[in-house]
Amino acid sequence: MPNLENLRKQAKLYVRWHRERYHPVAAQIRALLPRFKEHSDREILDREFKLSDAQELVARQSGFDSWQVLTASLQNGGEATRPRSAAPTLVAVEAQAFVADIAASCAFYTAKLGFKVAFTYGEPPFYGQVERDGARLNLRMVCEPVFVGDIREREHLLAAVFTLDSAGALRALFLEYQAAGVAFHQTLHQEPWGARNFIVRDPDGNLLLFASPST
């Protein structure tokens, strides 16, 4: 069992992160506190988030329903039985691309690929997220080469895969990107197994695959 004083410090840290509008904490709040479940990152960060909320968040991360139950367990030497819960469920996944300049990358994804900026973090920003419809892509600034030479090009290493619901939608998106002057690593084509796709190359060399069923 963790130390109670460390848990108190962790709760205060969540309050500070929320006050500073550190977007990654919004996802944790939404996942663990039911009253925030239907809110977007911005809505969560706009709402009041008290120390008691942060303490509940810490408790749920530790497997307890409330801060009171967690602290009682610690005071009893950690012997309290944790509540039974259903098997863990993964509710979302977000790809991450490594970039040299967050502002420049955000400009590319919005102007060329039709995304919008969900958030950026840091002064100057070193982390951010762009989104289009239900797709989200995290951007992480890295000041040194992440990949050796041209291995991404040679091995077709993908940074992210985006799925559309039909071949018609995929073709329309391909034509949209073509008109916008986007650089393609691979143009629209059909794979031997039936899937259709194309691959976009962003300014940092990240390869983004857009795919759909054959029909």
DSSP codes of every residue in 180-205 = TT--EEEEEEE-TTS-EEEEEE-TT-
pLDDT of residue 99: 97
So where are the chain's domains? 4-75, 95-212
Task: Give this prediction's pTM.
Answer: 0.69
Q: Which residues pair with 37 in a beta bridge?
A: none
Q: What is the mean pLDDT of the chain?
A: 89
Segments of the chain assigned E as strands: 95-99, 116-121, 127-132, 135-141, 158-163, 184-190, 196-201, 207-212
pLDDT in tens, 76-101: 765 444 555 566 767 678 899 999 99
pLDDT in tens, 176-191: 999 999 999 999 999 8
pLDDT of residue 80: 47
% pLDDT > 90, the chain: 66
Summarize the confidence of residues 187-205 as an average pLDDT.
93
Class of 95-212 in CATH: alpha beta
